[in-house]
Structure 1
């Protein structure tokens, strides 16, 4: 009896466990992808490989409706919603595939309430959730992407997402929820607008502008007062597209357009297990678009300090409606109370004195909307506005160019930290008032400044440690002055003092010696013209690469300062990041982010490692280098000509993404300059363009030539400077040209990476390389055109003409020839040796 009862109990227990296992399987299924034969019920989910992102059904707070979406770690942080405007009223919904291969959401009656809506696709498709939080629909057999959720964002901008401009005035990227409990499309939308070459981000309330970022300067949006340095590494703008691209390894962060029309930047707080708001677009009423009307400026600080209204007319202007203005309704704006001199001259039919009017300078402002752009330099920008009576204001920024306004000045705001200088055209009488008082004040201020500066210099010379600028959560760093700085060090410090390197850290020698184990030989990564390069690790665990100027180096203060000044002003995913520098006595060092995969030549020219870079990865590297050069030439705050682009100066991060390095030879151009001449030829034999080598002329097209050589090296796996066809004395360029004429270009391709499926792509890339190395600079494409060609935006490629240097040149000395024939370089950071001509 007892035995029977025991068996019965075990049977019951087994039955319960068996049923429970089915329940768990039913409610807890979580996988990374589903195919066209599978589906996701309300209780099931898709998860990314790292487990951070989940795709499934959820219910918003204070709601009973069901939606399909993607969230981060918990359903309280929903990032994307599929069926925004058509909710489910029960838990009978299913995510599955339609007969034509689209991903769809069905309700309990098998009605489609949402679909990816891709036309002409394969019926054999797969849906997958990536580690970036992207839901992707791909063709199962080929892996080709058909659709992804980043193309149809909801209210959240995730890393790697883009906000595009449609170039017609309004490009929408994000749309707000109706309210926190209803993810249907709300009143507010966010997008980028590109007018001329000026890119701004807008938030619209229905069709009316609600908020504006101000113009993009190449590093920041100039109208965002608290746009801190973190943004520089997070946002990039190329061809009217704003991309959110934070550094790898940084905290998870997003931008959210909330239901009130505000953009919030949020970061994940591991302690609180929640997303915390770190910045919001609307900090005061002044952030509302056009709150003060035309020819008025909004200053939120004035209300807090003395109780005055936030809006005030510009000098020389008065309110259009005094009663409304006094009632703090400022939308009617202001009008010019004193006519301009040029307007009077027109009315009296007299000759216009173009210098009669003057400009009122406004500092640190968000410049008005509706500007017209030109590439004029500051003085030309001013004179152009002064000579045009319709021009009411102008502004100039190195990263933007010349902006002028011929109509009402709308949405003008006083900022506290950033902003631009705006020059408003006024009658000279508006600037004469208080002139004597101004002179007295000016003289007093100058005398005071002289006294303060003198005292500061004395104190500085007696101070043993000068803190450097603080960055992020790191502590102050300073120079080590156990002994007086020598003359070289003082010169460097004076040069650094002239440059406002707000984000650049000054490290002391002792910290770097500790980080590199006293510059031990085992930490040495390589040797360049600059000097040795060491791998190091700071106290916080950050790995760095340290370039230490050798006393025997042919390079010195000029190259050192050039690299510091140039790189510190550049921010792009395909440019190496400068972390800081060290100057102590004769010691001069540069600190970079450490690149574990070293330089590109280590891979493509190595008999064993070149197999690690397949055709797709090489294409990705070529495109990354091209985008980095495009940024230097056109999209950065400065116009930069690199002048030493080569395989050893392309560094590879842990994911083999390319980063252009070594800016010791770079030149900064003015926005209107397109070429320059030099008597000092620098660079590396084999990469130098003919006009530069022979005449000392260099321009953007010089970099294009170097890029073309590098492209052909990447495709072939052979160095231009060491590839010789003994029979015909051909260089790599000459060999490529010969194969082009014979219609046998694929013989150039590295045999380890050739794939018949990539036949057309390979031909196209080699064709682009030949276009870049044409002898005449005018025949070569710009980097903007090259990027379009690589992305197949340019369907027709013109035939190339004969490249330069197709035969072996006997112009290199024995030392440089020996240098050029090394199998590979192990330099993580390198500086090119200079060969005079």
Structure 2
């Protein structure tokens, strides 16, 4: 499947556009790719060739992949670079497959600057550029075109994006060359990875809003070389790209600074301690690939104009002090009396607010009935909510893995401060789960409310979510029928507890495969109660103007008229059951021959007596036919159009575990598919990826769209 260009973590670089290219998308041992020519993927989405980092730099050449039809007129989105740290001097680059079947990138004098070495030789290797932007090496005669000997891209479960496997084996997003562009600082510990240096601003603010920082930063005040220029010090950083730099191995810090000031082209300097003395490095031109390091790092001094430099600050401070002193003398007693009166008034107001806040917090804690964690404890456990600890992105925030001081692993759901609906869902989830105790429901360990922060602490689920397995052919083999059937029964028991056996009657309203987590013994646990509703007394159904949930799982009466009940969850369970049996997504499956979706497909096969044809192929050797057929029958009973025709979850549990005859299902709801031409226009008002408290595989959520607000008819 073609992956859109914007899904890649790339860098923007100015390139020389090419006038020639191969019509083919691959090279064999009898072909080469020289600088000036490119490979183009089959449908023209991506291009492989040589480029220079900037328009003015024609000496340093790199082999990379970029989006061929980029919407940016002056730059190209580069998604992968081979010789990132070893540029080729001039246009002598040559890419080829040698006689041993290894891919080599050669520069002048046939020097190898980058290579792919295989453990065993293959007779007919082919290097091919795919429409996904993935460069792969495979055996040309292999019948399975997905068997790769090597590939440039891999799926990152934490980030949910394709990331390049560069020769440098970069460990995080900041290792991508030019991630934050010129004069941009990359800091993996910040929620916003890129920031501009002091005195600089984003060159393209519009792109920065969407985390596209590759355009970098520009000076707020145009730089004019003059006496009095100073420097801004940045400690603990990885020094920028040294392509345009000068090094002197016998200069002191003071001499290095003076040398930089003597040249109007100097933009920064740094000093490094070396054996027997110190080494001075001076940069000329843009500063690229700056990053903040968590430990160690060096000091970098960036040149600033006199009006903004540290050398000008003492003079400014002196002027301010004199002015303030003069105003104080003139104002005298009047100003002093006014300040005292104002301070007293603020102190009284602060005491009044603190008293109110103390009462509110105390009331919250009494209502929540859970242990309260301090924010510093959670910051330490999650390494300050670092990108490397991130498990997934939810509708109302992010989820991080953490480890407490006693060694216990936890999952921390951090509510997004920008979410308008988040606080209500946060309190809803805390109050609900605090009162629920069942082996098939995720366990809430505690919460944190401090300032603007709202956090939930859950038990950590090491085996990811159900969708990670059932929608992937390779992972699906790890979950045979002997494991899937107990998972199905466990989900049913969890829903039964919510509907009938708990102290409260609860409608989940967002049951789906990504909201079923698996513990270390592969026991299912229903999660994410932010959208759940409580029924009191004998209440069995309700109506809402705010429809929430996920397309493909919602019952018709709920999606159309806002009516929800325990039977709404039963419908969602029926869809989930069909997905678990077939390995196909409710939202992603389409039977073009009969214009049917997954529900309609299952109904047609059942009516024709061919239900077993819909079963996931990886289950064919392990399934018990009687159990599988009974599960298909139960699923069709659950997705019937009218709520009163659907069984309760107590009946579902009995039917799954029994052997008695089952009633005949009626025609299901939402069984028709969509004409391909109309698919582009059918989307929810807001796309989300469901929260998880285990390691996530973001590929499992690409076809899910969660609804946040929908006015019913």
Q: Which TM-score band applies after superposition, normalised by the shorter structure?
A: 0.3 to 0.5
Q: Which has the higher contact order (CA 8 A, sep 6+)?
A: 2
**Structure 2-normalised TM-score?**
0.46
**Structure 1-normalised TM-score?**
0.40
